[in-house]
Structure 1
Amino acid sequence: MAYSREYPTILLGVILLFWFVKPTLAFGAGNIAGISSIEGQNWRHGDIEDALLKVMMARAVGGKRFDKLMVSRVYFGNWLRDYSQAIDVGTVKSVSAEAIRLLLCVLGFITFGYGSKEFEVTADRLGCYRPEDHIDNPKDYAENEDARQYHRALRGPVNEEVELAIDPETGMKNYIANENIGIMTSAAHCRKLFTDAIELGRRYGRSGNKDDLYECLRLIGTGLHYYFAHSNYIELALIEMGEQDVFPHVGRNTKISLEGANDEVYPIVTGTFGGVDFLHSVTGEVSDKLIQSEIQDLENTLEQSKNSDLSYLRELLDKIPDGLIGSDKKNKVNEIQDNANAAQMEQTSISPKETEEFTRQVQDIFRQIMPAIEYHDDLLKSISEAVSRIPILPKIIEQLEEQLSLFVFQVIAPFVIPVIEQIKNELATGATEIIESSKNEQHIVFEDDDASDPTHSMLSKDHFTNILNEVAGRAASKVVSWSVPQLMEAIDDEGVDVDRVLNKIIYGVLHHPAQRNMGPDGADEGRRLIYGIVEEWWNDMGRGQQEDYRRKLSREGVENGENHREGEKDCGHGCGGRVEGEEELC
């Protein structure tokens, strides 16, 4: 996600590492435990990906339902897409992109339980921040500098007249889905991702090369990003249902005439990014104290693992028959540890400000830690494949997983902790400055009747506290269960017109609710399904709750922050929230 201020991105590499410690985002990393009382009401990306468990894979892939590991391979693509934002102007100006990738490599290992092969956070897979990846409004990106001077893969300056204009045929901002005016849109980006995924799936069907399959799944996950949490679609759908007092997150004078609409309608938009938006989206909290405590949590985890006793790991490995994993793999623990200890003694401290030298140092660190991660992954996969055949294994697999993870942390801690410390020393900007820099941007759609570029923090439904989080999650889950089977069918049928399939999927999702009964190549099917989710959610409410939501979703309600649940902490949303030790934002 983009930020119009550079300095918040300096924080990103470290802050992001802690979603697994204190997950706060409804569309953030991970998913919600099945026993949780909020499951089905609050949504994260992982929960939405779990909809795949009910979907059949292509016949070329076996024709069975997605299992947990296959879902993880899909979710890895979506996870990478979220974290690619770590590589942005502020980061690469102040901290090596390789250092950020190192921290994300550790986070990926913790999140997925694997960190090599198809789960490795490579530079190519991670990429960098691109607005079209997140359906972001690129207005004022990089303070309108050419960001490519800092990283060749970042985007150039924004052409506001073209990119930010409203497409009169679709009622959406051009950067979302207008593929006819020569700019990179989210629709065009998604088309490429899914086209490549279909080709890789077909190639796997011909060759059986699992690398093609895993890359296919990753690209599908990358393409499954959630329009409804980042746009004003839900609000405009409610207005279509007759709820005229719902605030559309754009100015009063922005209505347009649109084919299929009974009256003039507000346009579909997504949010822009300033400092508060960054913190809202990534952390859900702008307190420096929290940020520092989370950094400390990671350091504590690694510190506690530095001197772990590996005797229990060796004992567990001895219980596994040599014919299953081989004696060489059992003995490799000592070899990896000895090599890491020797490398650690030669390690020197280099300042992140010495960019080239620091980058080389981090690349050396990758070479030292990856053997431990690869060993962990290979061993666990070998054992997992044999669990059903070896009766003793189910009894020790859980302990072995835990001990192998401790072993990996023991190896990587001496290398990673100094990098964290070095990046921490670069964190010079406090929450107050970030808030002050973005305060004026938060209220533009309330103060300017012609404004159509709201901020992400005002618009998004990412957080649990937002009363529209649940319905946005339901809509996103429906997208997964509707679109993925069509991709699987396209993989199996090489005679199908891929562009027509993708027209149906892309424009079945990216649309204005006033055009729910229209769309190319059958896209109206998806549009009606999605609109129906919002309609069902609203109609299932009692009259008293509807009246309460009308008030909270009104112009005044949103401006006062009432669209976030009372009594639940959601600092940084830019309206009415209070940051510990700070004045009110509004």
Structure 2
Amino acid sequence: MAYSREYPTILLGIVLLFWFVKPTLAFGAGNIAGISSIEGQNWRHGDIEDALLKVMMARAVGGKRFDKLMVSRVYFGNWLRDYSQAIDVGTVKSVSAEAIRLLLCVLGFITFGYGSKEFEVTADRLGCYRPEDHIDNPKDYAENEDARQYHRALRGPVNEEVELAIDPETGMKNYIANENIGIMTSAAHCRKLFTDAINLGRRYGQSGNKDELYECLRLIGTGLHCLEDYFAHSNYVELALIEMGERDVFPHVGRNTKISLEGANDEVYPIVTGTFGGVDFLHSVTGEVSDKLIQSEIQDLENTLQQSQNNDLSVLRELLDKIPDGLIGGDKKNKVNEIQDNANAAQMEQTSISPKETEEFTRQVQDIFRQIMPAIEYHDDLLKTISEAVSRIPILPKIIEQLEEQLSVFVFQVIAPFVVPVIEQIKNELATGASEIIESSKNEQHVVFENDDASDPTHSMLAKDHFTNILNEVAGRAASKVVSWSVPQLMEAIDDDSVDINRTLNKIIYGVLHHPAQRSMGPDGASEGREIIFGIVEEWWGQMSSRQQDEYRQKLSREGVENGQNHKEGQQDCGHGCGGKLKIKKNYANTAPETMEDRIAAAAADHICGG
């Protein structure tokens, strides 16, 4: 999903992605806090990916359950698809894509606690907005201009007659899953991603090359993002409820769009996803169209960096001196000094270049990458090295917690002088414009209510991305089940070279992308997934009391949806990670109850760190 309209206020993508506190793209990046009362009721992509913690990895990868770091490697691919939407027509017309990538690089470091190697936000990994990543309806993308003139990786003009037509065999729009007519589809996109992932996993089993493994996991996360989005972005849940006999549920298409479909007992409404206008992008990013937008991620990011510039690094130096050289190598303190000295020297040479001078600004940002990456790489390498020794030396878990915190201080101190000015320059390019966007596309929002032949609803009317939508919970449950159902099949294909990759992917992709009227059908065993997913909706509905079902019937009716009753009153979606301020990910914080051994180790660590 993306903003692709031409409005006077350029940079809306980066404004809305960072400046507002609610970047809930797709299901939304991040996780719900484990102690939150809404965990399990409201869903983000990070929560859905947590289903992997109960899944066994391929034998080639160790045959154990996914641990948190392995899940992070998968989720990194998923997360990138959310934030790649910042690279779109509305932003790259006026701001270097490299400047956007720089901010995402820092945001990724905060999100994952790592920012180099497999967690580096490279230009290739980030890519740009592509509708197939999110099963978005491409109608009127880029105002029907060729977006490739602004960025070569953006998609070209839409062939509406072909791409937006309903596939009579599946009951879905062609751009979703029709792989037989020579167009880009989300199904073909997932097939390529998962095929590449399986082949990389198989190669890793032979070579032991960790780079192949990590790329395999990232690609799996990228493909899962797309499959997870099916339930948030389509009218699948509504049509499943209609299949269950709830005839008054609004299908988000016009009255005259019913089709005859194999497997259906009667004519059915087609499966569709939402189109994007200005209001839709605002809705996608901020969670609601509101002028009461609170503090932004970009402001949080700027504040975090500014506060770090004067931090004292003496604690880090002393801590490094206390760790035995044999554990992580000598001369650690000097390496910190070397990185900081180089950064200070480079800072003195920095000149201010306007983002409007695109080529010069791009070169400057690339220079900034060269200055900040050594600090991030040092942080990551040191933590990964010492973490490998944790199981051998009991006191290390307590030391590594302190070391992780101090290394983060060091990274922020190095990168702040470079990144904060870029943030300031980009902010200076931002104009007001949100109200203009809202006014310019308000008329599109009610097309399926006013045109009985319409089958292209807007995203903000249809999507269940946000916590306020009463179908967010069931869409999240279905997406989580997709992860726990599909990933074991991918792991099996990695382990067994005799497994036919295409047949496996037919089962997975078409087990997810389907019309609920065809739940007992599907190629290569896809009906298994279809029945499981339909069962999730049945279970969710069946768990309600009769009174709640009546309430939901009203809220999901044509009148209820048109009046916004399908959103919960008095609730607001929240920001990255669902909790307000940005907080750096702590990979080594021990959240388990403290044992006697922990207390002994803590005392020993304090003694070492305190001298």
Q: Answer yes or no: same fold by TM over 0.5.
A: yes
User: Conserved in 2, the CA contact under 8 Å of 1:352 and 1:358?
Assistant: yes
User: Deviations for 1:143-192, whole angstroms, at most 9, x for unmatched residues?
Assistant: 00001111111111000000000000000000000000000100001000
Q: 1:563 to 1:46 in 2, by over 3 A?
A: same
Match of 1:476 in 2: 479
Question: What does the per-residue CA deviation read over 1:64-102, in whole Å, with 9 as the maximum and x for residues that have no partner?
Answer: 000000000000000011111111111110100000000
| Offset from partner CA, 1:107-140 (integer Å, 9 cap, x none) | 1000000000000000000111111111000000
Cα distance in structure 2, aligned partners of 1:369 and 1:574: 25
The offset of 1:549, in angstroms, is 0.1
- The alpha-carbon distance between structure 1 residues 504 and 428, as it changes in their structure 2 partners (threshold 3 A), is same
Judge conservation of contact 2:21–2:295 (CA < 8 Å) in 1. no
Per-residue deviation, 1:438? 1.5
1:583 to partner: Cα distance: 58
Question: Structure 1 pair 420/584, CA: closer, same or farther in 2 (3 Å)?
Answer: farther
Q: Give unmatched runs, 5+ long, in structure 2.
A: 581-601
- Find 2:545's aligned residue among 542, 553, 557: 542
Closer/same/farther in 2, CA of residues 22 and 388 from structure 1, 3 Å limit: farther
What TM-score do you get using the length of structure 1 for normalisation?
A: 0.95
SS in structure 1 of the partner of residue 296 of structure 2: helix
Give aligned pairs, total.
584
Comparing 416-425 with 294-303, greater Cα deviation is found at: 294-303
Decide which moves more: 308-317 or 502-511.
Answer: 308-317
Instruction: Tell me if structure 2 keeps the 8 A contact 1:26–1:43.
Output: no
Displacement of 1:581 in angstroms is: 57
1:307-347: CA deviation from partner (whole Å, max 9, x where unpaired): 11001111221221111111223321111111101101100
Instruction: Identify which range, 69-78 or 400-409, moves more after superposition.
Output: 400-409
- CA change 1:432–1:331 in 2 (3 A) is same
Distance 1:581 1:397 in 2: 13
**CA distances 1:478-522 after superposition (whole Å, capped 9, x unpaired):** 000000000000001101111000000000000000000000000
Q: Is the 8 A contact 2:253 2:452 kept in 1?
A: yes
Structure 2: distance between partners of 1:572 and 1:110: 14
Is contact 2:171–2:270 with CA below 8 Å preserved after alignment? Answer: yes
- 8 Å CA contact 1:26–1:462 kept in 2: the answer is yes
What is the rounded CA distance, in whole Å, between the counterparts of 2:559 and 2:540 in structure 1? 23
Superposed CA offset, 1:209-264 (max 9, x none): 00000000000000002x10010000000000000000000011100000000010
Compared CA separation, residues 303 and 134, structure 1 to 2 (3 A): same
The question of whether the paired residues in 2 share the 8 Å contact of 1:509 and 1:526 is answered with yes
Would the alpha carbon gap of residues 136 and 22 (structure 1) be closer, same or farther in structure 2, given more than 3 Å must change?
A: closer
User: Alpha carbons of 1:309 and 1:286: their partners in 2 closer, same or farther (altered >3 Å)?
Assistant: farther
Q: Is the 8 A contact 2:444 2:458 kept in 1?
A: yes
CA shift, 1:357, in A, is: 0.4
- What is the alpha-carbon distance in structure 2 between the residues aligned to residue 179 and residue 235 of structure 1? 25
Write the distance in 2 (CA, Å) between the matches of 1:430 and 1:72.
36
2-structure distance, mates of 1:583, 1:228:
49
Give me the CA root mean square deviation: 7.1
Structure 1 counterpart SS, 2:608: coil
Contact 1:286-1:571 within 8 A present in 2 as well? no
With normalisation by structure 2, the TM-score equals 0.91
**CA distance in 2: counterparts of 1:546 and 1:286, whole angstroms:** 28
Contact kept, 8 Å, 1:439 with 1:574, in 2: the verdict is no
Is the CA contact (8 Å cut-off) linking 1:320 and 1:393 kept in structure 2? Answer: no
The structure whose RCO (Cα within 8 Å, separation 6+) is larger is 2
Distance 2:579 2:157 in 1: 33
Pairing of 1:93-172 with structure 2 (within 5 A): 93-172=93-172
Q: 1:585 to 1:143 in 2, by over 3 A?
A: farther
1:574 CA displacement: 24
Q: Indicate if the aligned counterparts of 2:249 and 2:557 stay in contact, CA closer than 8 A.
A: yes
Number of the residue aligned with 2:223: 223
Cα gap change, 1:372/1:286 in structure 2, threshold over 3 Å: closer, same or farther? Answer: farther
Q: Structure 1 vs Structure 2: percent identity of aligned residues?
A: 92
The answer to whether 1:584 aligns with 2:587 is no
User: Is the contact made by 1:5 and 1:142 (CA closer than 8 Å) also made in structure 2?
Assistant: yes
Residue 402 of structure 1, CA deviation: 1.2
- In 2, Cα distance between equivalents of 1:367 and 1:241: 57
Preserved contact between residue 179 and residue 187 of structure 2 (Cα < 8 Å): yes
Does the 8 Å CA contact 1:77/1:222 hold for their aligned counterparts?
yes
CA separation of 1:264/1:17 partners in 2, compared to 1, >3 Å: closer, same or farther?
closer
Question: CA, structure 1 residues 584+398, in 2 after alignment: closer, same or farther (shift >3 Å)?
Answer: closer
The 8 Å contact of residues 253 and 455 in structure 2, kept in 1 or not, is answered as yes
